[in-house]
């Protein structure tokens, strides 16, 4: 980190985790959301800095200790908890998906309502109302970017959000998975399960080829080591495959949607963490998969 390395005791006190190679994660008190910082005196990259005002300021304080010549913000998708840090760095370059601006505009009321709600729950207040913004660099498909000294491969990551991207740091063998591959959350769909599963399939070669040694999910614990990271992929794929199989069988048998939701309520690997109940999300996943793309769009 060019002399700007944080002291080990600060890591524990302030929620920071040093992943090595100047890659740091700060986990929020809100939904265990992970902000990623690629610290470098020449160019620091911040991925989804958030969530609470004090946490965003804490990230900013650490950036100030380094004093980078340039700052880039990467927004993995347009959900409310991932976009609140933009106001802290109004002059920074922003990278996001081609669909980000449209997605952000569509969800403005939700972003404002949820941010005010979560701030109040934690005794904090955002200094200003959220305002929409556009990315300076808009990417889609598979896109390689040199953010010196960082090399990043962006990939479409549809299934949870229309504007979601994953980031792979090939030199560090780090995958920043956005809202996928969590140990505390099941896949949360905004489209049928087949779309999400196809996204994970594009990541499989990275895991099988040993290109991922560290996995950073949008929420939950970081997976350290190839086997731990690969297990996350297998787990989410198994959930989605099981969901598609069971919902498909129910539809072919003429079982109604309410009956299908009731029948599959106890499906394997739905509840992953006692503090993060997933039954409601699971029922919505069933509904989206049962109804197909048209119904999914209507409900997203």
For residue 128, count CB atoms less than 10 angstroms from its CB and return exposed for 0-12, middle for 13-18, buried for 19 or more.
exposed
pLDDT of residue 292: 64
The answer to whether 126 touches 51, Cβ cutoff 8 Å, is no
| Residue 151 is assigned to a structural domain of this protein | no
Number of folded domains that form the chain: 1
Structural domain includes residue 171 = no
Task: Say if 52 falls within a structural domain.
Answer: yes
| pLDDT tens per residue, range 67-97 | 999 999 999 999 999 999 999 999 999 999 9
Chain segment 89-124, per-residue pLDDT in tens: 999 999 999 999 999 999 888 998 999 999 999 999
Q: Are 184 and 272 contacting, i.e. CB atoms less than 8 angstroms apart?
A: yes
Q: Residue 250's pLDDT band (boundaries 50, 70, 90)?
A: very high
CATH classification at residue 135: 3.60.15.10
Which range of residues forms the domain containing residue 121?
1-139
Q: Which of 24-28, 31-35, 114-118, 161-165 has the lowest mean pLDDT?
A: 114-118
The reply to whether 294 falls in a domain is no
CA distances (Å), origin 8, targets 14, 17, 19, 216, 224: 10, 9, 12, 20, 18
Confirm whether 86 is domain-assigned.
yes
pTM, 2 dp: 0.92
């Amino acid at each position: 980190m060019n002399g700007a390395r944080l002291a080990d005791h600060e890591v524990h006190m302030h929620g920071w985790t040093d992943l090595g190679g100047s890659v740091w994660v700060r986990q929020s008190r809100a939904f265990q959301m992970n902000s990623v910082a690629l610290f470098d005196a020449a160019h620091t990259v911040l991925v989804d800095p958030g969530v609470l005002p004090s946490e965003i300021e804490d990230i900013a304080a650490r950036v100030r200790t380094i004093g980078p010549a340039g700052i880039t913000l990467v927004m993995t998708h347009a959900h409310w908890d991932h976009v609140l840090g933009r106001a802290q760095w109004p002059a920074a370059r922003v990278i996001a998906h081609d669909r980000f601006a449209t997605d952000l505009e569509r969800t403005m009321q939700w972003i404002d309502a949820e941010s005010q709600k979560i701030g109040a729950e934690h005794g904090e207040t955002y200094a200003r109302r959220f305002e929409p913004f556009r990315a300076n660099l808009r990417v889609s498909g598979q896109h390689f970017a040199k953010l010196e000294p960082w090399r990043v491969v962006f990939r479409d990551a549809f299934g949870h959000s229309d504007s979601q991207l994953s980031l792979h740091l090939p030199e560090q063998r780090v995958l920043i998975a956005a809202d996928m591959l969590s140990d505390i959350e099941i896949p949360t769909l905004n489209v049928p399960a087949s779309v999400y599963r196809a996204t994970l399939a594009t990541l499989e070669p990275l895991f099988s080829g040993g290109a991922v040694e560290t996995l950073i999910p949008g929420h939950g614990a970081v997976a350290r080591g190839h086997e731990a990271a690969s297990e996350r992929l297998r787990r989410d794929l198994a959930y989605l495959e099981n969901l598609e199989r069971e919902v498909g069988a129910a539809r072919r048998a003429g079982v109604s949607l309410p009956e299908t939701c009731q029948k599959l309520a106890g499906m394997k690997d739905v509840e992953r963490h006692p503090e993060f109940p997933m039954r409601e999300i699971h029922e919505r996943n069933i509904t989206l998969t049962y109804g197909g793309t048209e119904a999914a769009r209507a409900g997203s």
